[in-house]
Amino acid sequence: MAELEKALADIAAEMAARTDRGNVATYIPQLGKIDPQKFGIAVATNDGSVLVAGDADEAFSIQSISKVFTLTLALGEVGDALWKRVGREPSGNPFNSIVQLEHENGIPRNPFINAGAIVISDIMLAGHRPRETIGEIVRFVRFLADDDTIAIDHAVAASEQATGFRNFALANYMKSFGNLRHPPELSLGVYFHQCAIAMSCRQLAMAGRFLANDGRHPETGHSVVSAERARRIASLMLTCGHYDGSGEFAFKVGIPGKSGVGGGILGIVPGVGSMAVWSPGLNANGNSQLGSIALEMLAKAMNWSIFAPR
Ligand SMILES: NC(=O)CC[C@H](N)C(=O)O
């Protein structure tokens, strides 16, 4: 544990000093206001410790990291039927790309690109009003993190709703193929609100624990998903969690991860623990620039690559 504590402190100190911080997302105006100097990191180990460094208790917009939680919920609701409407292959394209949908019958490549996550939101809407589905997502994340203070940042949701022209295009396009069952604006309403959930690194690391622990909530031992499902969700994080930067992240860090344009990354080391990092500046693929570097340093220091023999 002392080794991990030192690794986190060293990483936070190095990251505070770096000037190559990437650029904050400005296409969602509310995110453009965030201070790029922020840096936080947290690790929740399977044996119950939580270690943090930097701004690990400051909430930020989780954005696409929410797609891990909605995929988990939707699989619980409809099971493997979900895969008729969303693929499981890396897209090799930016997170908000529309190009593949035309040739692939409006079926998004995977649940972690925007198009895929909008279909997942549509699946979760079945039989519910948007506010009920949004409530279900927030309750699930609170349960996973063991923290009832987690909430949606409504200014971020409104900001995205007002400027989400790409996402409206994706939703309308998929609707034309029959891959959305509800009016696009309702599926998008769910999607924008899940992306606007605000969480700290500590809360995110806590929420990811079930994925590192064979699908079980480590404290209660209760099953959140089956062990097989936890492995499958983690495998998609590895292959698709960083969009067209997924190969690079797997190559350099070697753990399943999911990024968001708020600058957060959730990382999973099966059997060991869950971790979250936050630095708002993004690289060219829309993934946290220093967050990726920090996780690379941490995985190296702790020998956490999933490809390292245990
Ligand atoms: N990569 C992301 O985090 C993208 C999510 C963001 N809400 C969007 O739709 O553009």
**pLDDT given for residue 257 in this prediction:** 98
Confirm whether residue 279 is marked as ligand binding. Answer: no
**pLDDT given for residue 228 in this prediction:** 98
Give the type of residue at 133.
Answer: T
**pLDDT given for residue 196 in this prediction:** 98
| 46 phi-psi bin (left φ>0, alpha ψ -120 to 50, beta other) | alpha
> Edge to edge, what strands does the sheet with 257-259 contain?
50-54, 40-45, 273-278, 264-269, 257-259
- The Cα–Cα gap between 209 and 275 comes to 8
**pLDDT given for residue 305 in this prediction:** 98
Give residues with Cβ within 8 angstroms of 288, minimum separation 6. Answer: 22, 259, 263, 264, 265, 277, 278, 279, 280, 281, 282
* Cα 157 off chain centre by: 16
DSSP state of 61: E
Please state the length of the chain. 310
- The partner residues of 286 in beta bridges, in order of sequence, read none
The domains of the chain, with CATH numbers, are 2-61+199-302 (3.40.710.10), 64-195 (3.40.710.10)
- The Cα–Cα gap between 99 and 82 comes to 22
Protein residues with CB under 6 Å of any ligand 1 atom: 63-64, 95-96, 114, 160, 167, 195, 260-261, 286
**pLDDT given for residue 53 in this prediction:** 98
Token pair for 204 = 């995110």
Confirm whether residue 27 is marked as ligand binding. Answer: no
How many angstroms is it from 128 CA to the middle of ligand 1?
Answer: 24
**pLDDT given for residue 310 in this prediction:** 77
**pLDDT given for residue 1 in this prediction:** 81
**pLDDT given for residue 291 in this prediction:** 98
Please give the angle made by the CA atoms of 201, 260 and 196, to the nearest 5 degrees.
80
**pLDDT given for residue 62 in this prediction:** 98
List, for the chain, all residue ranges whose pLDDT scores fall below the cut of 70. none
Give residues with Cβ within 8 angstroms of 39, minimum separation 6. Answer: 12, 15, 16, 54, 55, 277, 278, 279, 290, 294
Q: Are residues 207 and 215 in contact, defined by beta-carbon separation less than 8 angstroms?
A: no
The helix (H) or strand (E) run that includes residue 44 is: strand 40-45
Percentage helix, strand, coil for the chain under 3-state DSSP, each rounded to 5: 50, 10, 35
Per residue in 97-115, pLDDT (tens digit) is 999 999 999 999 999 999 9
- Atom number of ligand 1 nearest to Cα 192: 7
Confirm whether residue 191 is marked as ligand binding. Answer: yes
- Atom number of ligand 1 nearest to Cα 95: 1
How many angstroms is it from 64 CA to the middle of ligand 1?
Answer: 5
Residues carrying an active site annotation: 64, 67, 191, 243, 261
Token pair for 290 = 């220093």
Give the type of residue at 210.
Answer: F
pTM attached to this predicted model: 0.98
